[in-house]
A and B are shown apart, each in its own frame.
Chain A
Amino acid sequence: MLSTIAIESLKRRKTTAILTLLSITISISLLLCVDIIRTQVKTSFTRTVSGVDLIVGAPSGQLNLLLSSVFNIGTPTKGIEYKSIAALQSNKQVSWLIPLSLGDTHRGFRVVGTTNSFFDHFKYGDMQSLEMAAGSAFTQPLSTVVGADIAKSLGYKVGDKIIISHGLGSVSFNNHDDHPFTISGIVKKTGTPVDKAVYVTLQGLEEAHTGPKHSPTSMLGRKPADKAKEHEHEHEHEHEHDEHTKEHAVYNSEAFTPESVSVVMLGLKHRVTALQLQYQINQSKKEPLMAILPGMALAELWQIMGNVESLLLGLSGLIVICALIGLATMLLATMRERYQEIAVLRTIGAGPFTLLLLIQIEAMLLTIVSAALSLGLVAGLMSALKPWLSSTYGLFLSSPLFGQSSVIIILLILGCTYLVSLFPAVAAYRRGLHAGLNANS
Chain B
Amino acid sequence: MNTINKNNSTHSQRNAVSEEHNAVNKERNTAIEVSNLQFSYTKESPPIVDIKAWQVSQGEHVFLSGPSGSGKSTLLNLLCGTLTPTQGDIALLAQPFSALSNRQRDKFRARNIGVVFQQFNLIPYLSVAQNINAAVYFASTNVSKTASDAQLRHLLDKLQLPSHVLHAKADALSIGQQQRVAIARALINDPQLLIVDEPTSALDTDARDSFMSLLKDVAGESTMIFVSHDKAMESYFDRHCSMSELSPSTNHLKTRGDEAPKAQERA
Interface of A with B (CB < 8 Å)? 1-2, 4-5, 8-9, 11-12, 340-341, 343-354, 434-441
Is A441 touching B118 in the complex (CB atoms < 8 A)?
Answer: yes
Some 29 contacts from A to B, beta carbons below 8 A apart, are A1-B134, A1-B143, A4-B126, A5-B126, A5-B130, A8-B130, A12-B124, A341-B124, A343-B120, A344-B117, A344-B123, A347-B80, A347-B117, A348-B138, A348-B185, A349-B106, A349-B107, A349-B139, A351-B106, A354-B138, A434-B83, A435-B82, A437-B76, A437-B77, A437-B82, A437-B118, A438-B73, A438-B76, A441-B73
In the assembled complex, B135 has its CB within 8 A of some CB on chain A: yes
A interface secondary structure, majority: helix
Q: How many residues of B contact A (CB 8 A)?
A: 37
Smallest Cβ-Cβ distance to B185: which chain A residue: A348
Contact string against A for B residues 184-202, beta-carbon threshold 8 Å, 1 for contact and 0 otherwise: 0100000000010100000
- Beyond contacts A436-B76, A437-B80: 12 other A-B pairs, Cβ-Cβ < 8 A, are A1-B134, A1-B146, A4-B126, A8-B125, A8-B126, A344-B117, A348-B134, A434-B267, A438-B117, A438-B197, A440-B120, A441-B118
A353 to B82 alpha-carbon distance, docked (Å)? 13
B68 to nearest A CB, angstroms? 8
Contacts of A435 in B (CB 8 A): 82
Known A-B contacts A345-B134, A346-B82, A349-B135; the reply to A436 vs B109 at CB < 8 A is no
Q: How far is the CB of B263 from chain A (nearest CB, A)?
A: 12
Query: Is the CB–CB distance between A436 and B77 below 8 Å?
Result: yes
- Select the residue from B103, B115, B121 with max chain A CB neighbours within 10 A: B115
Which residues on A sit within 8 Å (CB–CB) of B106? Answer: 346, 349-351, 354
Taking the nearest CB of chain A, how far is it from the CB of B261, in angstroms? 14
Do A347 and B118 touch across chains, with their CB atoms under 8 A apart?
no
The answer to whether B77 and A351 have CB atoms under 8 Å apart is no
Which DSSP category, helix, strand, loop or mixed, fits chain B's interface?
Answer: helix
Q: Hey, which chain B residues are within 8 Å of A340, CB to CB? A: 120
Scoring A2, A352, A438, A440 by chain B CB atoms within 10 A of each residue's CB, the highest score goes to: A438
Taking CB atoms, residues of chain B closer than 8 Å to A343 are 117, 120
Chain A residues near B110 (CB-CB < 8 A): 348-349
Nearest 8 A/B pairs, CB to CB: A349-B110, A349-B138, A436-B82, A12-B125, A436-B77, A1-B137, A438-B73, A351-B106
In the bound complex, what is the Cα–Cα distance between A350 and B138 (angstroms)? 6
The CA-CA distance from A8 to B107 in the complex, in Å, is 24
Most buried by B among A11, A340, A435: A340
Please indicate the chain B residues that have their CB under 8 angstroms from the CB of A5 in the complex. 123, 126, 130, 134
Q: Which residue of B lies closest to A352 (CB)?
A: B102
B122 contacts the other chain (CB 8 A)? yes
- Tell me whether B133 is interfacial, beta carbon within 8 Å: yes
Report how far A400 CA is from B137 CA in the complex, Å.
42
Q: Which of A4, A349, A351 contacts B130 (CB 8 A)?
A: A4
Partner of B123, one of A341, A437, A438, A439: A341
Question: CA A341 – CA B133 in complex, angstroms?
Answer: 15
Contacts of A438 in B (CB 8 A): 73, 76-77, 117-118, 197
CB distance from A47 to the nearest CB of B (A): 49
Q: How far is the CA of A346 from the CA of B130 in the complex (A)?
A: 16
Q: How far apart sit A362 and B75, CA to CA, in the bound complex (Å)?
A: 33
Contact partners of A9 in chain B: CB under 8 A: 125
Closest B residue to A2 by CB, please name it: B137
A12 to B126, CA, bound (A): 9
CB neighbours (8 Å) of A347 from chain B are 80, 82, 109, 115, 117
Q: B-side interface residues toward A, CB under 8 Å?
A: 73, 76-77, 80, 82-83, 102-103, 106-107, 109-111, 115, 117-118, 120-126, 130, 133-135, 137-139, 143, 146, 185, 195, 197, 266-267
What residues on B are CB-neighbors of A437 within 8 Å?
73, 76-77, 80, 82, 115, 117-118, 195, 197
Pick the contact of B135: A4, A348, A441 (CB < 8 A): A348
Which residues on A sit within 8 Å (CB–CB) of B130? Answer: 4-5, 8
Interface hub of A341, A436, A437 (most chain B Cβ within 10 A): A437
Q: Which partner residue on chain A sits nearest B132 by CB separation?
A: A348
Give the residues in chain B near A440, CB-CB below 8 Å: 120
In the assembled complex, the Cα of A12 lies from the Cα of B138 at a distance in Å of 22
**Separation in Å of the A365 CB from the closest CB of chain B?**
15
Cα distance A269–B106 in the bound complex, in angstroms: 80
Instruction: For A348, list chain B residues within 8 Å (CB).
Output: 110, 115, 134-135, 138, 185
Contact of B102 among A1, A2, A11, A351 (CB under 8 A): A351
Whole-angstrom distance between the alpha carbons of A435 and B139 in the complex? 19
**Are B123 and A1 interface neighbours, CB within 8 A?**
no
Cβ contacts under 8 Å, A2 to chain B: 137
Measured in the bound complex, the distance between the Cα atoms of B178 and A340 in whole Å is 15
Residues on B with beta carbons closer than 8 Å to the beta carbon of A353 = 103
A373 to B118 alpha-carbon distance, docked (Å) = 43
Q: B143 — which chain A residues lie within 8 A by C-beta?
A: 1
Report A-chain residues with C-beta under 8 Å of the C-beta of B111: 349
Given the complex of chains A and B, what is the CA–CA distance between A343 and B124 in angstroms? 13
In the bound complex, CA of A352 to CA of B81 (Å): 12
Tell me the bound Cα distance from A419 to B71 in angstroms.
Answer: 39
Query: Are A349 and B125 interface neighbours, CB within 8 A?
Result: no
Q: Which residues of B contact A441 (CB under 8 A)?
A: 73, 118
CA distance A437 to B194 in the complex (A): 13
Identity of the chain A residue whose Cβ is nearest the Cβ of B112 in the assembled complex: A349
Q: Are B120 and A344 in contact (CB under 8 A)?
A: yes
CB distance from A358 to the nearest CB of B (A): 11
**Contact partners of B185 in chain A: CB under 8 A:** 348
**Which chain A residues lie closer than 8 Å to B125 at the CB level?**
8-9, 11-12
Q: How far is the CA of A348 from the CA of B116 in the complex (A)?
A: 10
With a CB–CB cut-off of 8 A, which chain A residues contact B135? 348-349
Please name the residue on chain A nearest to B79 by beta carbon. A437
Q: Chain A: which residue is nearest B227 at the CB level?
A: A437
Look across to chain B and name the residue whose beta carbon is closest to the beta carbon of A439.
B266
B114 nearest CB neighbor, chain A only? A348
User: Taking the nearest CB of chain B, how far is it from the CB of A395, in angstroms?
Assistant: 47
